[in-house]
Amino acid sequence: MRLRFILGEVMNGLRRNATMALSVVLVTFVSLTFVGAAVLTQMQVDNLRADWYGRVEVSVFLCPEQSPDIQCATGLATPAQEAAIRDVLENGAVSSLVQKPVYYESRDEAFEKFKEYDADNTYATLTADQMQASFRVKLTDPEQFEVVADAVRGMSGVDVVRDQREIFSGLFSLLNALTVVAAGLAAVMLLAAVLLITTTIRLSAMSRKRETNIMRMVGSSRGLIQLPFMLEGAVAATLGAVMAGAGLWLAVRYVMEDWLRQSVPYVDYIRGSDVLMVAPWLVVAAVALAIVASLATLGRYTRA
């Protein structure tokens, strides 16, 4: 009986306040889309980081013949120096962080690779002697770059130690900035959503003053008086959350999975299933939002 009564009241309220309810749906839809987008962007960043960091190498460049750098004043790295460096990487304190065997790229190999990139011979005057030999080290844990670098940096024969992750840092900064923007917009929109739900509940409570007064008079519990209003906000907000989830899923499924994956194939994109993991939390957030807004409003409009 009570359940039927409550549901009836909720439907009545939504119907009577249809435009307000619709605006709550739309505002929560937009705000939670931004929230979801921020979360998904971060998931994408984490994906990329795990994927690319696993592939990237630490390059230990060895001294070339003529170098302006002070640490290479003694000239070309000798085979003994090279052996010492390899020994540190493969058998030293950092060996557990290094995937073995460590790959050695000679000056000739470096020159061959360079010529592949320089197909139109812009640097035709360059010779193999001017190239740097290097150790290419894959790390078991890319985050431990500094430890490995410190172990070999300063050894004689080492010119510079370079982390390829630096190449991606720009991209990651951009993605992080996008996350911040999305989160900022989400915060503003969420505030708008809370205010709008508050107003909607207030209007609804005022338009049903007669009912709630009678309910108080005949001894209805405060919970039963307030619940329909809270549910009204929660239903509208949930609808918005479901729409946000659906919108994000469609975007990821058809834009990222189908289109981006084909045009830019070497990236590990987030999937529709990732959205399905985020979506329930959007619904939880919507309901929490509605409850906070109603608690803030109802006390004053349906006093016992």
Measured over the CA atoms of residue 189, residue 193, residue 199 and residue 200, the dihedral's sign is: positive
- State the nearest-atom distance from the C-beta of 199 to another protein, in Å: 24
- Closer residue to another protein, CB minimum distance, 227 or 241: 227
138 binds another protein (CB under 8 A): no
- Residues with Cβ within 8 Å of 161's Cβ and at least 6 positions away in sequence, in order, are 58, 59, 60, 61, 149, 152, 153
- Closer residue to another protein, CB minimum distance, 100 or 209: 209
- State the nearest-atom distance from the C-beta of 231 to another protein, in Å: 15
11 binds another protein (CB under 8 A): no
- Residues with Cβ within 8 Å of 111's Cβ and at least 6 positions away in sequence, in order, are 126, 127, 128, 131
- State the nearest-atom distance from the C-beta of 248 to another protein, in Å: 40
Q: How many CB atoms lie within 10 A of CB 269?
A: 16
Number of residues that bind another protein (CB under 8 A): 18
User: In the numeric block, which tokens belong to residue 279?
Assistant: 């979506």
- Closer residue to another protein, CB minimum distance, 16 or 271: 16
Distance of alpha carbon 294 from alpha carbon 38, whole angstroms: 26
- State the nearest-atom distance from the C-beta of 50 to another protein, in Å: 53
Contact 197, 296 (CB under 8 A): no
300 binds another protein (CB under 8 A): no
Contact letters for another protein, residues 203-222 (x by CB under 8 A): -------xx-xxxxxxxxxx
- State the nearest-atom distance from the C-beta of 300 to another protein, in Å: 15
- State the nearest-atom distance from the C-beta of 19 to another protein, in Å: 20
- Closer residue to another protein, CB minimum distance, 216 or 271: 216
Distance of alpha carbon 196 from alpha carbon 217, whole angstroms: 30
Contact 252, 270 (CB under 8 A): yes
**Could you identify the residue written with the tokens 């005949």?**
218
- Closer residue to another protein, CB minimum distance, 127 or 213: 213
- Closer residue to another protein, CB minimum distance, 280 or 299: 299
- For residue 228, give the H/E element and its range: helix 222-250
Residues of the shown chain interacting with another protein in the complex, contacts defined by CB under 8 A: 1-2, 5, 210-211, 213-222, 224-225, 304
